[in-house]
């Protein structure tokens, strides 16, 4: 096919200007004499061609000649030697709206701007309405554009450029302008243009966009073309090539190689990039303004073959990011901290891990799902699972036939507000994202001067696909024969092999204080500590001055459960309980005093309904079903006095509850300051035939 753009052996020398350099300092006669000789060689022997419908990206550092090449292709300036041939009409998206005259109205400027791109009035008439509609200028169209906001300028400029129906688009960082809404529109439009088979030449620092938009990418350095290959190859080459710079360090261990490049982390496994082109970055939103780690000024302070410490001074924030990487037998540990020079308001911190679209499934807590395909019409991020799921471990699994390792991520947060979420990006970025995000509520968003540890992220590409789901939960799971208990965001899920034995609220506690129920799910749970035979975790109430300590251990025929209440000051509790919520399949119940059958759920009753008659203190409650193993909750000797209760939930919740209840007898439920036993006992799980 005849190439639509042909650049043949092009060099460009910028002449130096004659005349004095500065206003003061004599006539500059010397400069005048020498001026003509001091030239600047911006491009050297560039040869490339672009086929119709192809999109070419141009990357390179500042001053590498990217923009010069673009303006030579645009025909704005001529090459000093060599030849450029273009076989189609060009619309340049360079500095949108720059050609606007502030005095003219929007309408006049549209005609003038389109005219500059070679359109006649009659042709503009045809698309005029589309332009106005796309730009969303509406009634302002007959106002002078000097009354417009800068966003409106850019909007009209972009609208004109895309509606002149050219064959070739030249774009230079255009997507970085305008409001978010318009950027989305822009990106969508560019995606569409690409689908329509338009040729796009794109210059950008945003490697992610270049990666998704461009089939081929050219790397320029110092006016020379260093590499010309597929986007992925060139970008990888670029990241390695700039390795000598101060903000860059490449390190690795086993099959993993990591490149930190000025606030962006790229990870390779067996020489394949497992991060998307945008890499792993961090965003801080302060006073409504987003600051990316990529805009910071980075310096690698310590480096070795396996680890790296990088310090990045944020450009417009009094914050220094402190990143520490350790790569050990293929596993990458990323410690993130920040140092505030002074008190600084932060609304949101996000650590973004961009992954290629080769990853097809995510695993998150109990949930798993498939990443949907990203369509050109996707102009915003599509959140697949939100931090409400509260797990700190998650995994991404590659699609079939994709040569990517399964990835496991573990977040050790130092700040309780962080949660993980999975999302698809919009079409232009075309990646999967794992985002560790914290939004700080208004009264807790001031970060005092000093160091703040944010989190530690572990990225492990070494776990085989089969066992990854076990790994995701291994640290929070206690096993006892076929029984396993997994702690998750304030409750414990019980399993018989892979069979879920609990539902809805699972095993949880709740305390009624000042007429408010405080479920264990609403506590803030800190990290899980392994103890002898089990795990321990602590959850703190945000509302009242107490916390709970849970210990789950392997027990005879099941699990041992030890719960404490730690009150900071004397706490008056009206009522409290420890409850196992089981599926409606469980039909029979038995306590120390009586036994019965769970009645069918009453559709008119929104509340839980107690099934037992006797509320005498007891030690034991059990439930049976036909299919599932029986569950017995037993209080042991150290347990405070409880009353065992069998409960039907509402019809919607469709479950049964086994409850160890402590009602409010006067004076009984006064928890003194300090650590007091809350519940202690066993959960026995036995197959029906074994009883």
Partner 1 sequence: MNTVVYDSREERKLHRLILDLVRARELLLDLVWKDLRVRYRYAAMGFLWAVIEPLAFTVILTFIFTFVFADRTAPAQLTDGPPFAVMLLCGLIFWQCLSASLATATTSMVTNKNLVTKVRFAREVIPIAACCMPLVQLAIGFILLLATHLAFGGSVGGTLLFIPMVFIVQFVLTIGAALFLACAHVHYRDVGSLISVLLILGFYASPVFYPLEMVRGARVPQWIVTAYMANPMAGLLTCYRQIVFEQRLPDMSLLVWPCICAALAFLFGALLFRRLAPTMSDYL
Residues that bind partner 1 (CB under 8 A): 2, 4, 14-15, 17-19, 52, 71-72, 74-79, 82-90, 92, 94-95, 98-99, 101, 103-104, 108, 111-112, 115-118, 120-121, 144, 167
Which residues, in sequence order, are bridge partners of residue 227? 219
- DSSP-derived secondary structure for 138-180: GGGGGSBGGGS-HHHHHHHHHHHHHHT--SEEEEESGGGSS-H
C-beta of 66: minimal distance to partner 1 in Å?
16
In angstroms, rounded to a whole number, what is the distance separating the alpha carbons of residues 666 and 88?
Answer: 89
In angstroms, rounded to a whole number, what is the distance separating the alpha carbons of residues 47 and 44?
Answer: 9
Q: What angle do CA 306, 61, 428 make, to 5 degrees?
A: 85
C-beta of 111: minimal distance to partner 1 in Å?
6
Of 281, 652, 655, give the one whose Cα is nearest residue 503.
655
C-beta of 374: minimal distance to partner 1 in Å?
30
C-beta of 179: minimal distance to partner 1 in Å?
23
Block residue for tokens 């506690």: 509
Query: By C-beta, is 83 or 316 nearer to partner 1?
Result: 83
C-beta of 226: minimal distance to partner 1 in Å?
23
Give, to the nearest 10 degrees, the angle between helix 121-135 and helix 150-163: 130
In angstroms, rounded to a whole number, what is the distance separating the alpha carbons of residues 593 and 619?
Answer: 10
Query: By C-beta, is 118 or 481 nearer to partner 1?
Result: 118
Count of residues in the chain:
691
Query: By C-beta, is 77 or 527 nearer to partner 1?
Result: 77
Q: Where are the beta strands (DSSP E) in 430-489?
A: 432-439, 446-447, 450-460, 477-480, 483-488
Query: By C-beta, is 103 or 572 nearer to partner 1?
Result: 103
C-beta of 124: minimal distance to partner 1 in Å?
9
Block residue for tokens 């990443």: 371
In angstroms, rounded to a whole number, what is the distance separating the alpha carbons of residues 211 and 233?
Answer: 10
Query: By C-beta, is 82 or 617 nearer to partner 1?
Result: 82
CB-count exposure of residue 30 (10 Å: 0-12, 13-18, 19+): exposed
Phi and psi torsions of 643, nearest 5°: -115, 125
Query: By C-beta, is 78 or 287 nearer to partner 1?
Result: 78
C-beta of 47: minimal distance to partner 1 in Å?
13
C-beta of 110: minimal distance to partner 1 in Å?
10
Whole-Å CA distances, 604 to 416, 505, 656, 658 = 40, 21, 17, 22
Of 123, 178, 118, give the one whose Cα is nearest residue 149.
178
C-beta of 273: minimal distance to partner 1 in Å?
36
Query: By C-beta, is 144 or 640 nearer to partner 1?
Result: 144
Query: By C-beta, is 55 or 425 nearer to partner 1?
Result: 55
Query: By C-beta, is 79 or 223 nearer to partner 1?
Result: 79
Query: By C-beta, is 71 or 521 nearer to partner 1?
Result: 71
Half-sphere exposure of 65 (CA within 13 A, CB side): 25
C-beta of 93: minimal distance to partner 1 in Å?
10
CB-count exposure of residue 499 (10 Å: 0-12, 13-18, 19+): exposed
């Amino acid at each position: 096919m005849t190439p639509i753009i042909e650049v043949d052996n092009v060099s460009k020398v910028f002449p130096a200007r004659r005349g004095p350099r500065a206003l003061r300092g004599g006539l500059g006669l010397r400069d005048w004499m020498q001026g003509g000789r001091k030239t600047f060689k911006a491009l050297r022997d560039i040869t490339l061609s672009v086929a119709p419908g192809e999109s070419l990206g141009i990357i390179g550092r500042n001053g590498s000649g990217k923009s010069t090449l673009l303006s030579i292709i645009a025909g704005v300036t001529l090459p000093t030697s060599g030849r450029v041939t273009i076989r189609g009409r060009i619309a340049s998206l360079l500095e949108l709206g720059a050609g606007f005259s502030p005095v003219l109205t929007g309408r006049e400027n549209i005609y003038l701007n389109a005219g500059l791109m070679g359109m006649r009035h009659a042709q503009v008439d045809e698309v005029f309405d589309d332009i106005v509609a796309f730009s969303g200028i509406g009634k302002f169209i007959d106002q002078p554009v000097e009354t417009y906001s800068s966003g409106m300028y850019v909007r009209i400029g972009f609208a004109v450029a895309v509606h002149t129906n050219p064959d070739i688009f030249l774009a230079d960082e255009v997507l970085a302008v305008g409001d978010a809404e318009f950027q989305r529109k822009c990106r969508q439009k560019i995606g569409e243009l690409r689908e329509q088979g338009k040729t796009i030449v794109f210059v950008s620092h945003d490697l992610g966009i270049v990666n998704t938009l461009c089939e081929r990418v050219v790397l320029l350095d110092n006016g020379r073309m260093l590499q010309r290959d597929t986007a992925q190859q060139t970008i990888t080459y670029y990241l390695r090539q700039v390795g000598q710079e101060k903000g860059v360090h490449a390190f690795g261990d086993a099959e993993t190689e990591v490149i930190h490049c000025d606030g962006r982390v790229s990870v390779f496994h067996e020489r394949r990039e497992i991060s998307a082109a945008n890499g792993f970055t961090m965003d801080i939103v302060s006073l409504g303004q987003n600051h990316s780690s990529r805009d910071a000024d980075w310096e690698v302070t310590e480096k070795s073959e396996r680890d790296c410490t990088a310090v990045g001074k944020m450009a417009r924030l009094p914050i220094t990011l402190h990143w520490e990487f350790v790569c050990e037998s293929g596993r990458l540990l990323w410690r993130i901290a920040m140092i505030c020079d002074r008190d600084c308001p932060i609304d949101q911190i996000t650590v973004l891990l961009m992954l290629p679209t080769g990853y097809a499934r995510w695993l998150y807590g109990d949930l798993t799902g498939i990443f949907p395909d990203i369509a050109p019409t996707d102009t915003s991020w599509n959140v697949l699972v939100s931090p409400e799921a509260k797990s700190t471990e998650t995994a991404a699994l590659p699609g079939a036939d994709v040569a990517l390792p399964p990835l496991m991520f573990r977040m050790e947060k130092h700040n309780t507000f962080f949660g993980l979420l999975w999302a698809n990006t919009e079409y232009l970025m075309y990646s999967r994202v794992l985002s560790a995000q914290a939004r700080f509520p208004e009264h807790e968003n001031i970060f005092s001067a000093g160091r703040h540890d944010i989190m530690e992220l572990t990225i492990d590409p070494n776990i085989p696909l089969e066992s990854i789901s076990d790994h995701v939960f291994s640290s929070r799971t206690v096993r006892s024969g076929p029984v396993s208990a997994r702690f998750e965001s304030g409750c414990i899920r019980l399993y018989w092999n892979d069979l879920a034995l609990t539902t809805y609220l699972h095993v949880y506690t709740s305390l009624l204080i000042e007429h408010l129920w405080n479920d264990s799910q609403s506590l803030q749970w800190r990290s899980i500590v392994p103890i002898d035979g089990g795990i321990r975790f602590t959850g703190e109430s945000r509302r009242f001055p107490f916390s709970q300590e849970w210990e789950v251990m392997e027990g005879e025929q099941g699990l041992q459960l030890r719960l404490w209440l730690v009150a900071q000051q004397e706490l008056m509790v009206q009522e409290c309980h420890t409850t196992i919520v089981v599926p409606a399949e469980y039909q029979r119940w038995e306590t120390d005093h009586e036994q019965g059958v769970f009645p069918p759920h009453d559709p008119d009753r929104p509340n839980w309904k107690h099934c037992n008659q006797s509320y005498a203190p007891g030690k034991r409650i059990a439930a049976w079903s036909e299919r599932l193993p029986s569950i017995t909750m037993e209080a042991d000797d150290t347990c405070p006095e409880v009353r065992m209760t069998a409960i039907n939930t509402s019809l919607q919740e469709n479950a049964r509850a086994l409850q160890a209840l402590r009602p409010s007898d006067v004076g009984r439920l006064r928890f003194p300051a300090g650590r007091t036993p809350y519940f202690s006992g066993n959960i026995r799980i036995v197959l029906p035939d074994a009883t």
